[in-house]
Amino acid sequence: MTTKDISDRIIHPSLKTGLKTSVWLLKLTIPVSFGVFLLDYFGVLQIIAGWTEPFFNLMGLSGKAAVVLITSYFVNIYSVIAVMATLDISLREGIILANMCLIAHSLVIETAILRKTGSSPYRMLFLRLIAGFLLAWLLHLLLPSFRESMAVEVVATDPGFMDSFIRWGKDMAITAVKIVILVNLLLILQKALSETGLLKWLEKPFYPLMKLMGLPVTSSFLWIIANVIGLSYGGAVMISQTVEGGLSREEADLVNHHIAISHSQLEDTLLFVAVGMPVAWLMLPRFILAVIVVWGRRGEIRIRHIIKKLQNPDKP
C-alpha cells in the first residue's frame, strides 16, 4: 500500500468521520458539563442528596452517597473520584458506590451513543439505572465489613463563581482536546487494521469469550475498545462499525446491553483502584451482571420471534 493509498483509504475518511463525531460529542458534553457545574456550585445537588437519603440507606449507603451518584449520572468518573475523596465514606460504602457509578455515569452522552448504535435510549437508560441499584443491593448483602475510610483531608474554601468557572473551563478544554484526538486516532487505527486485514487476527483470540458472553464474534474489536477506554471516547468506533454495516442492528443492540453495564474496565476501574479499592470487587460484579443481561436479552428476542411466528404461521 502506497503513501497515497494510506492517505486516501485510511487517513482522510477517518478524519472526516472523526471530526464530525467529535463535534457531535462536544455538543453534548459541554452543555451537560456546564449544567452540572451550575447545579453543584449553587448547592442543588446537595439538596437532592438530602431528599434521597432514606432510599440510599436500603443499600447500605448514606445520604452523602447521593451526591456522588447524582454527580456520576451527568459527568465522568474523574469528577466522581474528586467528590468521593471529600466525603467521610467507608471503604465498603465506597465499593458499592463505585460499582453504581461505573455502571451509570455520563448518562446523557453515553445514552446518545448507545442510541446511535442501535438501541432504544429509554431502554438503555432504565437498564443502567436499575442495574446500578440492583448490583448495589446485592453487594450490600455480600460484601464483608471494611474498617478503612476513604476520606482525605480537604481544606474548605470558597473560590467564588468566576474562579470556579475558570477551573471548569480549563477542565472542559482538556476534555475537548482528548475527545478530538482520541476519536480520530481510534478511527484511523480501526480503518488501518481493517484495510490491512489485521483486525480479524486481533479479534480471533476473543471469539471463545464473545460466544461465552452471548455476543457476536464480529463485535470483538468494539468490545475491546469499550472496555479499554469506555463509551465516551470509544463511541466513534462503535458508531462507525454500525453505520458501515460491520454489525446488524440486533447484534449491535446485544453488544450495547453488555457494555451499558460493563465498560471502561481498564481506565475507570483503575481510578478507583488508585484510591484504595480492591480491583476484583470493581470488575467482576459488573462483568457477571452484563453477561446475565445479554443472555436474558437473547432469550427475550427468541421468545418474541416464537410469538411472532405463532401469530403469523404462514410467513417464512
Q: Say what percent of the chain tops pLDDT 90.
A: 25
Q: What is the pLDDT of residues 116-132, one digit of tens each?
A: 888 999 999 999 999 99
Residue 200: pLDDT over 80: no
pLDDT band for position 287 (50/70/90)?
A: very high
- Write the DSSP assignment of 153-175 as a string of letters: --------HHHHHHHHHHHHHHH
**What is the DSSP code (8-state) at residue 63?**
T
pLDDT band for position 295 (50/70/90)?
A: very high
Confidence (pLDDT) at 125: 95
How far, in Å, CA of 145 to CA of 59, rounded? 14
Closest listed residue to residue 242, CA positions, set 52, 114, 62, 81: 114
State the pTM of this model. Answer: 0.80
* Between 153 and 73, residue with greater pLDDT: 73
How far, in Å, CA of 29 to CA of 45, rounded? 19
**What is the DSSP code (8-state) at residue 90?**
B
Mean pLDDT across the stretch 173-187?
80
Residue 313: pLDDT over 80: no
20 backbone φψ class: left, alpha, beta (φ>0; ψ -120 to 50) = alpha
Residue type, 212: L
Contact 101, 68 (CB under 8 A): yes
Contact 237, 190 (CB under 8 A): yes
* Between 289 and 20, residue with greater pLDDT: 289
